[in-house]
């Protein structure tokens, strides 16, 4: 470990992401990334009686799947780090209850996939663990009900709205020497730019992403050309444009090397997802499915993965507060 | 760092808790620990228009207070680790937004004070940070509204019910060599024993506390006589009795060395708090106020602090799920 600045540490042992697993919903399985996911659901319920129970099942089965794929047992895992969007992070805590693995609960909204990989890789780098599992999930139906309107109401969605991904990503970070390495961690700060529109989360998160990316380049001495891809968690189409603009004003040009998990997940026009995908499971499954595959195939060799979270509370918004954003970044390299 | 077993690590650099700060509500300020708290509110609102905004203010002011007491600026702090009971952990994220300190959001319900101290002290021990702040909060009125019934309804409380503490605890863990040291961290697993009564959280959390304490003794080779005090987060009177019984069946006798933050906080009969205090702010303020003082005064020299969380979701309970428990422990020694 070497501290490079206020927000960034270089992980000198370079923990490896030895395996990932992804499960997504039916709609996500009809999108452009379908072939990269391990399992695609046939409907919203997967045999469960509520959307929340379905989300718990998705995360639990994804935990089992990543263990199987890596040929590991729960006894091999020192810590699970997980969080999700549901109140009290119930998907995570119910998903792990039979595993008997020490559990570190996180809350970072849609930044959780990278928050869990970041903290987990620091624990591996610091010698506290040989293997950790980082994971998260979201479900379109449980998220809409909790954060916006019941689906039965048929509320029209605004052009800036994003579509919460039904899905989960899980990854094992290990001292074993195989797979891509996590070389740098940049932990972000909470940024509040006064956005109050729960249907424009990209705008709420973009300033936080810009702050984290700016800090990463500033503290590592790298510039955008170092990376094959700089990929944000789920700013979507509108947030992504705002991010590029903010960075350009700070003399950082990421055009041509930038993409976003929320943009990658859906064919926005054909699938009517407006500004793109969102939710913890968006960055989770796009990373664990598509991006990890591209890293393994050496089609990508150096990526900066920046998961962004809108720390959005319906109660706080009703009380006049703005939606805060946060973003954490990890550099993943072959 | 030395790994002692599945759940416990010894922190070889022994990070120090160099300062703490506590703020509590009016009722807590009328209890037996009043003189140990840094600041006592005069009413439930502290000049704010909602209980949620009050809770945010409590945590924000406590963050400022612990920095002042330690003569530190935000620039000195590498990470804040925080979480709370409110949906989307809004107390924590709004409390830190002006600090510009890298933020690691946690969700561990009432186990958060020790979860944040545990992860934070591992980051310090691993060389990732010189100073971290661990903090949490809760508020009786915001918690009752969110988890049980609106206060205006005047619902009668059951004998097993606990009283959510209005308060906050904050602590700075540092490489500086002053104050008591965190010598061991035991990270717990989720335990679900099928308890479904939201008014009997002590019973839901006691098995998790027993599992963590049992693992701690088993993995460190210590026994209860090593500690001056084994103190749980907030099992309360009923959960505390269950804990002692479970441990005794496993040949661990903690009687005479055991107490609980929820029992310590209130005069249960005079203050009509039934089974005792609860909430993230209970363990938070009792540790940051009373226990830290006793450690500084050398009246206590070795304590095992075990914060317990009931990962209770009203939605999940309505859907027939049980209340899971989790407990994390740290050994604090002079």
What is the pLDDT confidence band of residue B262, given thresholds at 50, 70 and 90?
very high
Give the homologous superfamily in CATH for domain A181-333: Stage V sporulation protein AD (3.40.47.40)
CATH number of A2-174: 3.40.47.40
From the CA of A128, how many Å to the nearest CA of chain B? 7
**Distance between alpha carbon A247 and the CA centroid of its chain, in Å?**
21
What is the pLDDT confidence band of residue B199, given thresholds at 50, 70 and 90?
confident
Touching check for A73 and chain B: CB below 8 Å?
no
What is the pLDDT confidence band of residue B150, given thresholds at 50, 70 and 90?
confident
Burial of A298 (0-12, 13-18, 19+ CB in 10 A): exposed
Residue B104 has pLDDT above 90, yes or no: yes
DSSP string, B68-97: HHTT--GGG-SEEEEEESSGGGHHHHHHHT
3 state DSSP class of A234: coil
Binding-face residues of B in 191-250 toward A, CB within 8 A: 191-192
* pLDDT, averaged across chain B: 96
Touching check for A110 and chain B: CB below 8 Å?
no
Touching check for A136 and chain B: CB below 8 Å?
no
Contact A319 B79 (CB under 8 A): no
Q: Please, how many CA atoms are within 13 Å of residue A110, restricted to the half-sphere of its CB?
A: 41
Round to whole Å and give the CA distance between A327 and A112: 9
Q: What is the pLDDT of residue B130?
A: 98
From the CA of B292, how many Å to the nearest CA of chain A? 24
Q: Where are the domains of chain B?
A: 1-334
Beta-carbon contacts of A161 under 8 Å, excluding residues fewer than 6 positions away, are A199, A200, A274, A275
pLDDT tens, position by position, A47-103: 999 999 999 999 999 999 999 999 999 999 999 999 999 999 999 999 999 999 999
Residue B60, both tokens: 């924000």
Q: What is the pLDDT of residue A182?
A: 98
Touching check for A106 and chain B: CB below 8 Å?
yes
Contact B105 A104 (CB under 8 A): no
B283, B284, B286, B288: CA torsion to nearest 10: 140
ipTM: 0.98
Chain B residues with CB under 8 Å of A192 CB are 97
Q: What is the pLDDT of residue A198?
A: 83
From the CA of B109, how many Å to the nearest CA of chain A? 8
Chain A residues with CB under 8 Å of B94 CB are 316, 321, 324
Chain A residues with CB under 8 Å of B126 CB are 1, 122-123, 125-128
Closest to A280 measured CA to CA, from A95, A138, A89: A138
Q: Which residue does chain B place closest to A310, by CA atoms?
A: B88
Touching check for B50 and chain A: CB below 8 Å?
yes
- The residue with tokens 């029992």 is B263
Touching check for B73 and chain A: CB below 8 Å?
no
> What angle do the packed helices A236-249 and A201-220 form, to 10 degrees?
40
Q: Which residue does chain A place closest to B9, by CA atoms?
A: A128
C-beta atoms surrounding B156 within 10 Å: 5
Round to whole Å and give the CA distance between B178 and B190: 34
Indicate the residue of A106, A187, A191 with minimum beta-carbon distance to B106.
Answer: A106
Closest to A186 measured CA to CA, from A1, A330, A26: A330
pTM of this prediction? 0.98
Indicate the residue of A93, A123, A127 with minimum beta-carbon distance to B311.
Answer: A93
DSSP class of residue B226? G
Contact A89 B311 (CB under 8 A): yes
C-beta atoms surrounding B297 within 10 Å: 8
Contact A127 B49 (CB under 8 A): no
Classify strands B39-40 and A181-186 as parallel, antiparallel or unpaired: unpaired
Touching check for A11 and chain B: CB below 8 Å?
no
Contact A87 B88 (CB under 8 A): yes
Q: What is the pLDDT of residue A7?
A: 98
Mean pLDDT by 10 residues, chain A (334 residues): 97 97 98 98 97 98 98 98 97 97 98 98 98 98 92 89 96 98 98 89 95 98 98 96 97 97 96 95 98 98 97 93 96 98
Touching check for B6 and chain A: CB below 8 Å?
yes
Round to whole Å and give the CA distance between B291 and B27: 19
Q: What is the pLDDT of residue B198?
A: 83
Q: Which residue does chain B place closest to A319, by CA atoms?
A: B50
Touching check for A7 and chain B: CB below 8 Å?
yes
Chain B residues with CB under 8 Å of A90 CB are 311, 313, 315-316, 321
Contact B83 A107 (CB under 8 A): yes
| Lowest mean pLDDT segment, chosen from B96-100, B148-152, B162-166 | B148-152
Q: What is the pLDDT of residue A290?
A: 98
Q: What is the pLDDT of residue B91?
A: 97
Q: What is the pLDDT of residue B39?
A: 98
Beta-carbon contacts of B197 under 8 Å, excluding residues fewer than 6 positions away, are B160, B203, B204, B323
Quick one: fold of B1-334? Peroxisomal Thiolase; Chain A, domain 1 (3.40.47)
Contact B324 A93 (CB under 8 A): yes
Contact B122 A123 (CB under 8 A): yes
What is the pLDDT confidence band of residue B26, given thresholds at 50, 70 and 90?
very high
What is the pLDDT confidence band of residue B38, given thresholds at 50, 70 and 90?
very high
């Amino acid at each position: 470990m070497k501290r490079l600045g206020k927000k960034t540490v270089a992980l000198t042992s370079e923990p490896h992401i030895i395996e990932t697993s992804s499960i997504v919903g039916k709609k996500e399985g009809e999108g452009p990334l379908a072939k990269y996911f391990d399992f695609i659901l046939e409907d919203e319920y997967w045999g469960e009686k509520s959307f929340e129970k379905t989300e718990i099942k998705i995360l639990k089965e994804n935990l089992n799947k990543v263990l199987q794929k890596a040929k590991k047992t729960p006894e091999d895992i020192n810590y699970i780090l997980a969080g999700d969007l549901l109140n009290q992070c119930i998907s995570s805590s119910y998903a792990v209850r039979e595993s008997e693995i020490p559990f570190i609960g996180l809350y970072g909204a849609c930044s959780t996939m990278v928050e869990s990989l970041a903290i987990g890789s620091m624990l591996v780098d610091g010698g506290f663990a040989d293997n950790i599992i980082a994971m998260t999930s979201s479900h379109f139906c449980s998220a809409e009900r909790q954060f916006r309107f019941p689906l039965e109401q048929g509320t029209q969605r605004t052009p800036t709205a994003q579509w919460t991904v039904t899905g989960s990503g899980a990854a094992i970070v290990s001292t074993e020497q195989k797979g891509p390495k996590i070389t740098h961690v940049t932990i972000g700060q909470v940024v509040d730019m006064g956005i109050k529109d729960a249907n424009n989360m990209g705008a709420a998160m973009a300033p936080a992403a810009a702050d984290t990316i700016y800090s990463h380049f500033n503290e590592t001495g790298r510039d955008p050309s170092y990376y094959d891809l700089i990929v944000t968690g789920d700013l979507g189409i509108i947030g992504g444009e705002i991010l590029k603009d903010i960075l350009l004003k700070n003399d950082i040009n990421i055009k041509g090397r930038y993409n976003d998990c929320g943009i990658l997940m859906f064919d926005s026009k054909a699938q009517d997802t407006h500004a793109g995908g969102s939710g913890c499971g968006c960055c989770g499954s796009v990373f664990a499915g598509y991006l990890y595959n591209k890293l393994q195939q050496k089609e990508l060799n150096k990526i900066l993965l920046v998961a962004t979270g809108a720390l959005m509370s319906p109660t706080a918004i009703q009380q006049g507060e703005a939606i805060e954003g946060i973003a954490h970044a990890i550099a993943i390299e072959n």
